[in-house]
Amino acid sequence: MRIVIVGGVAGGASAAARARRLSEDAEIVVFERGPDVSLASCGLPYYIGGTITDRTKLLAATPDRLRNRFRLDVRTGTAVESIDRSAKTVTVREMRSGRVYQHPYDKLILAPGAAPMRPPIPGIDHPAVHTLRNLHDVDRILSRLDAGARRAVVVGAGFIGLEMAENLVQRGIATALVELQDQVLPPLDPEMTAPILESLRSHGVTVVLSQSAEQFEPSGDGVKVVLKSGERMPADLVMLCIGVRPENRLAVDAGLAVGARGGVQVNEHLQSSDPDIYAVGDVIEVRDVVTGEPSQIPLAGPANRQGRLAADHIFGRAARFRGAQGTAIVGVFERTAAMTGASEKTLRRLQRPFRKAYVHPGHHAGYYPGAEAMAIKILFEPDTGKLLGAQIVGGAGVDKRIDILSVAIQAGMTVFDLEEMELAYAPQYGSAKDPINMVGFVAAGLIRGDHPQCDVESLLAMPPEVRPALVDVRTPQEFAAGRIPGAINIPVDELRSRLGELRRDRRWAAYCQAGQRGYIATRILRQRGFDVVNVGGGFRTYRMHFPDAD
Ligand code: FAD
């Protein structure tokens, strides 16, 4: 069996190593255009920022190691230029010598990844304007920084844009972040990103939302980033982090089917429209397991697993890729944001019915020092409670909870399963009622009708004449420090004795800080005959929706 692999990083290197583990006899050739294989792309921002200091650590394996341990024929500096499907050969070019030759295959695996987008913005080729994908990019960026760059503009506030902003700040660079949408981290729902925005600003990052870079105007050694508003932001370094596009040229030229967003279309075995050509990683279109829609999910985990599965299938195993759900996490200074499955935005776009629940627990027991708050949002089917998506923002413990929720979605679990979930507990790690149980209690209570609830944003969007009156059941001190406009304050512990202050001929919405006292108040008032709902997630969720309100 002659296996040829195009691209030697996440998907390609995984496929090659797995193929060798399955067959000592196969001839396995990996063509990699760049100088490195098995590059840890995800570590690059942290090498630029100085957290990772040893460059060699970014290379999980060298070509020599792949040759010696796996007897792989790794040809770096060699680009595959075309595929002849009828002859079953690829044409390759050695970058340094210019030598061009054909190489035969029985099975071809395409793992060329995705390239950073570089739209035709005037001035984009100025030496101050950079993208980040490999060590060559890193070297160019570092030489710019070492030459005295002091001001940076990062265009795009997605995962890589945020990581770059943080790492530039770590290096003492005055950093601005420009984002087209009206929020940072556009894959998440806007309210869940409020703590990240606050964190960026508190570390001195100038964040400009709802703006696009229209031009890079030369200015001294650097540029002025001209925004749509006309504002000009001076920069010695511009990082363009506005997304990636699949490197599909080989596939398109070979007549393989690609999807609307350019991803190579594959079946569940990762075979393209030509069954002898597999495709894995950022270059492919995958099925989103929650929405069922075709999607581009450029993440390292799926790429690695797909490489392995493609090799399994080539060697006759019944390997199937079941799709992806976009489980992702990012650290921004002291905060962490993570998501899995569908967002509220996506469910609304697809007009898919859903309900949602918010909780704001500590990451471990409150009585043990150092508990850090997190906000969890889950989305679920209104009738069955089946989980559709989750987002978490906080500090410690976010990683563990998002992975639990990711697995729950993969297993088709419901909010009732979250209530029952058995999780490890000692005070420094979690709570006897873990945040996962808590969000399950709230969501399951909603479905059971124990716990009538409303969303703060829908509540405040109601015309005043139909909007329920607000009763804030926190302490007077909490109330004085900030409240939802129009609320009256009756602390939950005084509620039973002050019922006379609440009119019975109108609807009420009770809220507290995070939802739990509001829930207790709702239970008290309903049993006394009041028409009342709890404001989901309480004042903390209100603050996430309306961070600039008084
Ligand atoms: P790649 O890793 O891009 O590898 C493709 C390789 O193919 C490249 O080396 C390229 O040179 C080579 N190639 C392309 N065309 C040819 C050709 N014609 N001939 C020969 N070789 C070719 N994902 C996460 O899950 N978590 C993270 O924290 C994270 N952080 C990231 C940070 C950065 C800065 C970047 C750039 C990416 C990050 N990612 C992260 C995404 C992750 O790195 C990718 O999803 C993953 O590397 C995709 O693997 P791949 O094998 O499809 O493509």
Three state DSSP letters for 25-52 = CCEEEEEECCCCCCECHHHHHHHHHCCC
Is 423 a pocket residue for ligand 1 (Cβ < 6 Å)? no
Q: Please choose, from the candidates 457, 428, 438, 415, the residue with its C-alpha nearest in 3D space to the C-alpha of residue 542.
A: 457
Residue from 330, 332, 331, 356 nearest 343 by CA: 356
Q: What is the CA(241)–ligand 1 centre distance, in A?
A: 14
Looking up tokens 């209104």 gives: 382
Beta carbon of 336 within 6 Å of any ligand 1 atom? no
Residue by residue, pLDDT tens for the chain (550 residues) are 999 999 999 999 999 999 999 999 999 999 999 999 999 999 999 999 999 999 999 998 889 989 999 999 999 999 999 999 999 999 999 999 999 999 999 999 999 999 999 999 999 999 999 999 999 999 999 999 999 999 999 999 999 999 999 999 999 999 999 999 999 999 999 999 999 999 999 999 999 999 999 999 999 999 999 999 999 999 999 999 999 999 999 999 999 999 999 999 999 999 999 999 999 999 999 999 999 999 999 999 999 999 999 999 999 999 999 999 999 999 999 999 999 999 999 999 999 999 999 999 999 999 999 999 999 999 999 999 999 999 999 999 999 999 999 999 999 999 999 999 999 999 999 999 999 999 999 999 999 988 788 999 999 999 988 999 999 999 999 999 999 999 999 999 999 999 999 999 999 999 999 988 999 999 999 999 999 999 999 999 999 999 877 6
Q: For a substitution probing ligand 1, which of 4, 5, 6, 9 has the most ligand atoms within 8 Å of its CB?
A: 9
- Centre of ligand 1 to C-alpha 9, Å, is 6
Rounded CA-CA distance 161/45 in Å is: 9
pTM of the model: 0.94
**Would you state the pLDDT for residue 449?**
87
Plot region of 100 (φ>0 → left; ψ -120 to 50 → alpha; else → beta): beta
Q: How many other C-beta atoms lie within 10 A of the C-beta of residue 43?
A: 17
pLDDT for res 451: 78
Tokens of 61: 């394996």
Q: Is the dihedral of CA 219, 223, 226, 232 positive or negative?
A: negative
Residues 6+ apart with CB under 8 A from 177: 153, 154, 157, 161, 162, 165, 184, 200, 205, 206, 207, 208
Q: What is the model's pLDDT at position 550? A: 64
C-alpha dist (Å) from residue 547 to 188, 485, 486: 16, 13, 17
Pocket of ligand 1 contains residue 350 by CB under 6 Å: no
512-545 as b/e: b if 16+ CB within 10 A? bbbbbbbbbbbbbbbeeebebbbbbbbbbbbbbb
Which atom, in ligand 1's list, is nearest to the CA of 114?
Answer: 3
Catalytic residues: 42
Distance 17 CA to ligand 1 centre (A): 17
Is the distance from the beta carbon of residue 534 to the nearest atom of ligand 1 less than 6 Å?
Answer: no
CA dist list (Å): 369 to 174, 333, 486, 506: 34, 21, 36, 43
- Please state the atom number of ligand 1 nearest to the C-alpha of residue 280: 52
Q: In whole angstroms, what separates CA 221 from the centre of its chain?
A: 34
